[in-house]
Structure 1
Amino acid sequence: MTGNQSSAGHLLRLIRSGEATTRGELQRVTGLSRSTVGHRLDRLFRAGWIREGATVPAGSPAGGRPAGLLEFDGTHAAVLAVDLETRYARAAVLDLAGTVLAEDTGPLAVEDGPEEVIGRLVRRFPPLLERARVAPGDVCGIGLSVPGPVDWESGRVVQPPILPGWDGYPIPERMRQAYREHVLGDADARGTGAGDGEGPVVLVENDANLMAYAEQRTGYPDCAAFLLVKVSTGIGAGLVVDGRMYRGIDGGAGDIGHIRLHDRPDALCMCGSYGCLAAVASGRALAGQLTAAGVPAASGTEVRDLLAAGRPDAVRLAREAGRRVGEVLVTVVTVVNPGVLMIAGDLAGAPFVTGVRELLYQRAMPRSTAHLTVVTSRLGDRAGLVGAAAMVVEHLYEPARADARLAAMGL
């Protein structure tokens, strides 16, 4: 191997993936000499990114002499993750292995606009970091999950139906600036986390994408095509193919909530169109239908509470909503051919999932569903947080970027 494929960043990737976890294995996989491997590992050790763990016994497949296992040190920095919903937000501090160190959930209305929301989010960070015992300068990145389509390159939401005032807003730049001003203050931003003196990197991604990413990585790592459908205030889907989020060409992949239903031209959607799936089968839509039937509900969360209480009207409407979503998923499953279809969000209970299954298995070709498993979320409310943190870690420790960061640290 040559070039970047034998760099310190590449060795780190091999260690993190488990493909090579001893010096001998790294030599065999890369073809590098013992001294070169040692030099590059020394850079990773000095950065605090790896550590030597348990010892492989002599005579094992790892080598004839005892060898120390190399592992990524997930405690050398931390990540802030935010899962922004329409009426509230979850925020958490996680280590680089995805362990939640501190968590907070509180009301926050996205309709107040990005400037107000970002300001209030950032004010939550200092007490959260204090509870997690993490210094502000040791935060390497902030991951933000938002309920709308995101252009990955810029980190800006694009024409989001349920995020008024957010279209094209420079979220990463504004949040990084707010973190420097209100969290770092006079503290040194060049701790074990940021490394560039400018504060942590900020990455923004669609909520369904991040939930799918987290659920696939933690529960279904061998599934090559994983589809998650989130049904809460709106409806969206996240697709993970070969371990990577599939975003489409500009972040619009998975926006199934705005597929038009042929028989509901009367249903006005928040996007301004009529007949969208979200206008008929989302948590917001069911809340409106229940309210009209004399069962007050203002959001998908309140519909979830009514379902948990076993209210007959809520159960009936949730099952019918599942059938409507199932109609659309027949086409999606036929095109994508996933191994796992996961239903998540406020409506992801038995009535809704039953409705999805009924339509999906009734109308899809047997070939499309023969190896399909339909499940509900394993991570629950934490899926967005776990996905946001994992996105930041994968971004920062990707081989080329890891090498650039090591160079910036003078290593």
Structure 2
Amino acid sequence: MESTLGVEAGSPAAVLRMLMDGSPRTRAEIVAATGLARSTVRARLDLLVAAGLVTGSGTGESTGGRPAGRFGFNPSAHLVLAAEVGATHATVAISDLACQLLAVEQVDLDVADGPAAILPLLVTTWRSLLRTVGTAEIAGVGIGLPGPVEHSSGRPNNPPIMPGWDGFDVPAAIAAEFDVPVLVDNEVNLMALGEHTASHPDVRHMIVVKAATGIGAGLISNGVLHRGAAGAAGDLGHIRVPQGGEALCRCGNTDCLEAVAAGPALAAKLRDLGHPADSTADVVGLVRAGNLEAGRVVRQAGRDIGEVLAGCVSMFNPSLVVIGGLLAEAGEMLLAGVRESIYRRSLPLATENLRIVASGAGVTAGALGAAAMVVRHVLSPEVLDARLGEVAAGAAAPEVQLSSSAT
């Protein structure tokens, strides 16, 4: 008998997954749902209660007297440290095991300063936030970085805008501060995971685009994050735009989408038109202030992004495209341009049921995704069942901890 996770339905992780829908159940209800013996369900629940992951009491069966005890998921059992690091700022957060953000802080930085400067800044911010949310054990740390990442090792892989980061052992550096699992991924992948977890959990195929200092995309395929063979899936920013006008990209090529439609390129265009714009935030500010030329420039950027996305839509056939990142805060101008190109260039069959929407999670999307990445890892059957199995075999202390020194 298989659970929705594809593991044995009788495993502790599968029983926990059943309870993570937010509906407490009696032992009898769990027995009926799983087909397991009452003694097996009792043993599974005892392990989960000992770990603090489930709360509840009672016999689980009512004989007409007092109500049966109910058991439910306890998301406050552990905390997750999460961060999305961009080129110029980071969103640093703490969540519970239900990926509810308990504390969030925006931090200005320059990712080009390198890991020796940026990682201690994240640690300091987490420690400050921890003082505001209580003393629960930390389950793990999730970090998104603005470049390709080898997810299995957590090391950046030739990131074009991150001097000093290539091959750096980020998990080891963070695990030296917090003795817990540390997972690292590309920030746009985590934005996609965050949007999927928080705003669109029922969508099976979606593309999430971040338009800011750079441009990238995260892909959800059949409900699962698609990273690609080398962790470089979704690198929209370095796809050639035919009408790029020989714009030089920082990757060394010309006519890349990022060199034409990202925030710095738009700011440069507005400066040439006599407007004060030194950053993506300045571009957004001008659009919000009603500047017509800024609105026109952003609308064209949306068309350029849409031109590239049109090919992705025809090939990948998503049911949803989400546009996020700082540039998306310019509002409908960017979205209108994206929609214009996609609906003009993609086949009707691919766009018949396609929705193109603004980010629902906003600036916290990447942090939400980082938290979700960690939760999925520490509560996965491979990790959780192994830990609980150690306790059941008497190989660990009676009080179960999710955290470990593994990275």
Q: Answer yes or no: same fold by TM over 0.5.
A: yes
Q: 1:301 to 1:68 in 2, by over 3 A?
A: farther
In the other structure, the counterpart of 1:75 is 76
1:38 aligns with 2:42: yes
1:286 aligns with 2:290: no
**Could you tell me which of 342, 359, 366 is aligned with 1:384?**
366
**Could you tell me which of 321, 333, 337 is aligned with 1:351?**
333
1:365 aligns with 2:347: yes
Name the CA distance, whole Å, in 1 between partners of 2:239 and 2:79: 39
Query: Which stretches of structure 1, 4 residues or more, deviate above 6 A after TM superposition?
Result: 53-59
Question: Shift in Å at residue 371 of structure 1?
Answer: 0.5
Q: 1:54 to 1:23 in 2, by over 3 A?
A: closer
Q: Is the Cα contact below 8 Å between 1:235 and 1:256 reproduced in 2? A: yes
Name the CA distance, whole Å, in 2 between partners of 1:18 and 1:371: 31
Q: 1:56 to 1:410 in 2, by over 3 A?
A: closer
Question: Shift in Å at residue 382 of structure 1?
Answer: 1.1
Q: Is the Cα contact below 8 Å between 2:208 and 2:219 reproduced in 1? A: yes
Question: What RMSD in Å do the two structures reach over aligned CA positions?
Answer: 2.6
Name the CA distance, whole Å, in 1 between partners of 2:215 and 2:175: 29
Aligned amino acid, residue 318 of structure 1: V
Q: 1:120 to 1:219 in 2, by over 3 A?
A: closer
In the other structure, the counterpart of 1:16 is 20
In the other structure, the counterpart of 1:192 is none
Aligned amino acid, residue 79 of structure 1: V
In the other structure, the counterpart of 2:404 is none
Question: Shift in Å at residue 36 of structure 1?
Answer: 0.9
Structure 1: which 5+ residue stretches go unaligned?
60-64, 181-198
Name the CA distance, whole Å, in 2 between partners of 1:11 and 1:242: 23
In the other structure, the counterpart of 1:160 is 159
Q: Is the Cα contact below 8 Å between 1:14 and 1:21 reproduced in 2? A: no
Aligned amino acid, residue 197 of structure 2: R
In the other structure, the counterpart of 2:98 is 97
Q: C-alpha deviations, 1:156-192, integer Å up to 9, x for none?
A: 1212122222111111111111x14xxxxxxxxxxxx
In the other structure, the counterpart of 2:51 is 47
Q: 1:19 to 1:226 in 2, by over 3 A?
A: farther
In the other structure, the counterpart of 2:403 is none
Q: 1:238 to 1:141 in 2, by over 3 A?
A: same
In the other structure, the counterpart of 2:188 is 208
**Could you tell me which of 310, 315, 323 is aligned with 2:303?**
323
1:240 aligns with 2:220: yes
Q: 1:52 to 1:359 in 2, by over 3 A?
A: same
Q: Is the Cα contact below 8 Å between 1:55 and 1:66 reproduced in 2? A: no
In the other structure, the counterpart of 1:141 is 140
In the other structure, the counterpart of 1:176 is 175
Identity over aligned pairs, percent: 43
Q: 1:403 to 1:308 in 2, by over 3 A?
A: same
Name the CA distance, whole Å, in 1 between partners of 2:309 and 2:180: 38
Q: Is the Cα contact below 8 Å between 2:197 and 2:372 reproduced in 1? A: no
Q: Is the Cα contact below 8 Å between 1:14 and 1:20 reproduced in 2? A: no
**Could you tell me which of 332, 337, 357 is aligned with 2:312?**
332
Aligned amino acid, residue 132 of structure 2: R
Q: What secondary structure sits across from 2:128 in the alignment?
A: helix
Name the CA distance, whole Å, in 2 between partners of 1:238 and 1:56: 43
Aligned amino acid, residue 168 of structure 2: Y
**Could you tell me which of 356, 365, 369 is aligned with 1:374?**
356
Question: Shift in Å at residue 57 of structure 1?
Answer: 11
**Could you tell me which of 200, 213, 219 is aligned with 1:220?**
200
Name the CA distance, whole Å, in 2 between partners of 1:55 and 1:369: 53
Aligned amino acid, residue 313 of structure 2: V
Name the CA distance, whole Å, in 1 between partners of 2:287 and 2:133: 35
In the other structure, the counterpart of 1:259 is 239
Name the CA distance, whole Å, in 1 between partners of 2:326 and 2:160: 19
Normalised to the residue count of structure 1, the TM-score between the two structures is 0.88
Q: 1:168 to 1:54 in 2, by over 3 A?
A: farther
Q: Is the Cα contact below 8 Å between 1:53 and 1:71 reproduced in 2? A: no
In the other structure, the counterpart of 1:183 is none
In the other structure, the counterpart of 1:196 is none
Structure 2: which 5+ residue stretches go unaligned?
399-407
